[in-house]
Amino acid sequence: MSETLDQLDGLEGLIPQLPQAHLSELFGEALQDAGTHAFALLSEIEKLERWKLSINLLRESWQDDERRETLDALHTLQIAGGQMETVENREQLSQVRTTATAAKQSIGIILRDGLRVWQRRIEVDIGSLGSLGSLLAEFADTRSLGGRMTSIKVRGDGLKNQFPPFATQVEAYKALLEDANAVRTDLAAIGTGESIQRFLLALASETATLDMVDESVLRWIRDRRSDHRFRLSLQRSGIR
Single pTM value for the model: 0.75
Q: What is the pLDDT of residue 60?
A: 83
Radius of gyration of the chain (CA): 27
pLDDT class of 239 with cuts at 50, 70, 90: very low
Q: Which residues of 176-203 are buried (b: 16+ CB within 10 A; e: fewer)?
A: bbebbeebbeebeeeebeeebbebbbeb
Three-class SS state of 137 = coil
Cβ neighbours of 208 (radius 10 Å): 18
Residue 121 neighbours by CB under 8 Å, 6+ apart: 57, 58, 60, 61
Give the number of residues written for the chain: 240
User: Is residue 164 reached through a cis peptide bond, with omega within 30 degrees of 0 on the bond before it?
Assistant: yes
CA angle 193, 119, 14 (to 5 degrees): 145
Q: What is the pLDDT of residue 69?
A: 92
Contact of 103 with 40, CB cutoff 8 Å: no
State yes or no: pLDDT of 39 exceeds 70.
yes
Three-class SS state of 7 = helix
State yes or no: pLDDT of 142 exceeds 50.
yes
Range in 41-50, 68-77, 89-98 with the lowest mean pLDDT: 89-98
What are 11-21's pLDDT values in tens digits?
Answer: 555 555 555 55
Contact of 96 with 86, CB cutoff 8 Å: no
Q: What is the pLDDT of residue 166?
A: 92
Contact of 3 with 71, CB cutoff 8 Å: yes
Q: What is the pLDDT of residue 240?
A: 41
State yes or no: pLDDT of 26 exceeds 80.
no
State yes or no: pLDDT of 68 exceeds 70.
yes
pLDDT class of 36 with cuts at 50, 70, 90: confident
Compare 44 and 6 and report the one with higher pLDDT: 44
Three-class SS state of 223 = helix
Q: Which span out of 38-47, 179-188, 230-239 was modeled with the highest average pLDDT?
A: 179-188
The arithmetic mean of pLDDT across residues 209-215, rounded, is 81
Using CB atoms within 10 Å of the CB of residue 154, give its burial: 0 to 12 exposed, 13 to 18 middle, 19+ buried: exposed
Cα–Cα distance for residue pair 122/102, rounded to 1 Å: 31
